Structure 1
Amino acid sequence: MDAKHYILFFCVMWHYCYLHEACEASEAHEECSKVLSNEQVKPIHLSVTVRERYLILSWDCDFPPEIQSKTEYEIYLKQDDEQYKYKIGTRKCNTVITLETLSTVCLKVTPAINNKEFQRLSSEKCVNLERNGTSAENVSCRVYNTSSMTCTWMFGKNAPDSTSYRLSLRQGSTNVLCQHYEIRFQTRTGACTFDDLRLDFFDDVTIVLQGSDPGIEVFEEKNRLAHIEIFNPPRDISVNSSEDSLKIYWKSPQRQYSVNDNCFTYNIQKNKDQYYPKTQSNLYTIPNVEKECSVRIRASGIEACEMNTHWGEWSEWIPCDSMPRVGKSAGVGKSEWQFELTPVILVSGLILVLLIITTMQYKRIVKTCFPRIPEPKNYLESTEDSKINIENNGYFSLMLPTSETEECIIILKENFP
């Protein structure tokens, strides 16, 4: 192949690549022009939140799905009098930047489509990160009894002694103000309790502490209630003991949201021994039980369910009730021997009731069962009108009073021989 053929081949390849690139550029330009005409990729409502040495940036995005995969935002940062420096790129509408020093910081967010930046659509914001030491410090919040939350804090080191803070919770469009404050000016500490939290436990909640003086810095912190919940003890704990084992039953802690029972782990303490059941069921068996022991249980959440992984409150101590039994009755549970004694107790009670009734109604019962026999009427009573004639011949007669019919009864008795 001579030089002419090389030149011709080079020209053909150059022409093909140029047309292909131009075609792609034209298609991209059409897509970009549609989006840029409405400035849909421009970051709006740029928000900056400070968390110690972290800057949390977020902004609103409004572009069609077909351009989303080709859009990237370039983040530039400058501190004090420095020039803007490239910091990070992201395809999301939020990011986090770590700072080395806290001072005045300016941020610029620039959209880029197909790696081409559009500076005229940039958004800038400057914030002063220098703290004056007046915002609340050591803020700690915990959820108790499924719906009650208590937050505690310390006054800022440079806050006046008369400073008071107002606590509120923000979740979406819901804003809840705390009502029950407890302020200790001597120790420069404060606390407040929410009695009834009707918020989503698995959605972000912003905890806000504002000072009474406009010069007091505002404290803000995002968290989820499920991450700070202190669990109640497990419910309906029962212990079934025998000579060689101890079976413990329970139900998961009470809560106001729906979650699988497998989201909990448990810690069982028997006397001084600790047990951590691996099973998913709410039943655990401990072998070789002592004659005298007590048991208590507490629960914690697991990270996979986005719940608090710290241990909750202990239940009350429950006696094992491991009583030795002899012969055939060995191993019989407490409920079983109570069932066996029930007929004996009922019969004994019935006999006692009958004895009491018999004692109270003794005379009536005797009179009814053994009636009194009446005495016969005496017709031989003597009166003054009676006359007894005893004759020498050995006969005597007894004159009785006549009845109303004036009948006479004469009794004759012969002489004895």
Structure 2
Amino acid sequence: MNGTAIENFVCVIFNVSFMNCTWHVGRTASGDTQYFLYWKTSRKEDFTGCQNYIKDNCGRHTGCRFQNVTIENKRAYFLVNGSTRGQNIQSYEKMIILYRIEKLTPPLNVTVNCTEASHGCEIRWQPPHTSHVKRRACFKYEIVIENKADPEKNIKTTSKTERSITGNSYIFGSFNAEKRYSIKIRATDNGCLVSTSWGEWSTPVEFGKEQLTSTSSYTLFLIPVLAASLILFLCTVSIYLKKTSATVPQPRRPFHEISPMDFHIEYKDQLTKHETEEIITIIEEVA
């Protein structure tokens, strides 16, 4: 039946060697229609079936995930067929040149070096990572430099865009040390076997006054903390040394034996005390 074949078949290669292919269910396909994808990179090869399907809520195959895809100069041949109620449906075939469907990774190692004396910044980066292109001249770039908003100075966010930059560096000549900026870069083809679509943006890199102020504030906060820690450590060591080096206390006067004379005097005193207590007791009873 017409309209049972898949529609909107699209494949994308990303992160160098991963590929996703997706499609929509045919307009007249019944609910129990199931699709199967096969592919090969040469007409002489045999088709290989998908090993990792993407499914919709009804369990129907609506895509396939691939790993370890090699681009080079290869063409890929895709076949999607299916069945419904035990009968075959319309098949779909398509040939794709793999490098054209690659989504380039962001440029790597973006750095910014600014000098107030020259009022300029040198921006450097490395080409995006690919499995089949090694020449730096195969890429051109788009750069977006954004002047960040500053409510205190009533400055609104503005952007400056530069396209078709070749090489791996760029001089930003409008740098103002009193402002804060961010930069992001993406790549595309420059006449080689590279996708003509723009790749992914790099992570924004910020530079300017606010960043320097933040670093200075952190340093000012860190210095007294380190100083207090050092003082506390020195006090602890000093107390410990005083305790360990203190003079050992002298023992009390050694015990000496009681002489007979001392014993006689002590016994006499106790006897006198006992007699006095008896006299006091008798007087109290008479009264």
Measured against the shorter chain, the TM-score band is 0.5 to 0.7
TM-score (ref. length: structure 2): 0.66
Range that drifts further, 172-181 or 162-171: 172-181
1:141 Cα shift? Answer: 0.7
In structure 2, relative to structure 1, the CA distance for the partners of 1:169 and 1:286 (3 Å cut) is same
1:324 Cα shift? Answer: 9.7
Does residue 1:256 correspond to 2:135, yes or no? no
- Map 1:166-245 → 2, pairs under 5 A: 166-172=36-42, 173=45, 175-184=47-56, 190-194=62-66, 196-213=67-84, 214-243=87-116, 244-245=119-120
Match of 2:12 in 1: 142
Match of 1:320 in 2: 207
Q: Which protein has the larger Cα radius of gyration, Structure 1 or Structure 2?
A: 1
Question: Within 2, Cα distance between the matches of 1:234 and 1:267?
Answer: 10
- Indicate the SS of the match to 1:356: helix
- Map 1:288-299 → 2, pairs under 5 A: 288-290=174-176, 291-299=179-187
1:259 Cα shift? Answer: 2.3
Gap regions ≥5 residues in structure 2: 147-158, 254-258, 262-287
Q: Could you tell me the percent identity over the aligned residues?
A: 28
1:278 to 150, 165, 170: 165
1:148 Cα shift? Answer: 1.2
In structure 2, relative to structure 1, the CA distance for the partners of 1:251 and 1:176 (3 Å cut) is farther
1:226 Cα shift? Answer: 0.9
Partners of 1:270 and 1:294 within 8 A in 2? yes
TM-score (ref. length: structure 1): 0.47
Per-residue CA shift, 1:159-190, capped at 9, x if unaligned? 3332221112211226443233233367x982
Question: Within 2, Cα distance between the matches of 1:157 and 1:324?
Answer: 55
In structure 2, relative to structure 1, the CA distance for the partners of 1:316 and 1:132 (3 Å cut) is same
Partners of 2:140 and 2:166 within 8 A in 1? no
In structure 2, relative to structure 1, the CA distance for the partners of 1:161 and 1:185 (3 Å cut) is farther
1:301 Cα shift? Answer: 2.2
Partners of 2:18 and 2:69 within 8 A in 1? no
Bigger helix share: 2
- Map 1:1-400 → 2, pairs under 5 A: 132-172=2-42, 173=45, 175-184=47-56, 190-194=62-66, 196-213=67-84, 214-243=87-116, 244-271=119-146, 272-276=159-163, 278-280=165-167, 282-290=168-176, 291-302=179-190, 304-322=191-209, 353-365=233-245, 367=246
Greater RCO (CA < 8 Å, at least 6 residues apart): 2
Kindly report the root-mean-square deviation, in angstroms, between the aligned alpha carbons of the 2 structures.
Answer: 3.9
Question: Within 2, Cα distance between the matches of 1:324 and 1:136?
Answer: 52
Question: Within 2, Cα distance between the matches of 1:358 and 1:275?
Answer: 63
- Indicate the SS of the match to 1:230: coil
Question: Within 2, Cα distance between the matches of 1:283 and 1:351?
Answer: 48
Partners of 1:241 and 1:322 within 8 A in 2? no
Question: Within 1, Cα distance between the matches of 2:224 and 2:260?
Answer: 73
Gap regions ≥5 residues in structure 1: 1-130, 326-333, 378-382, 386-417
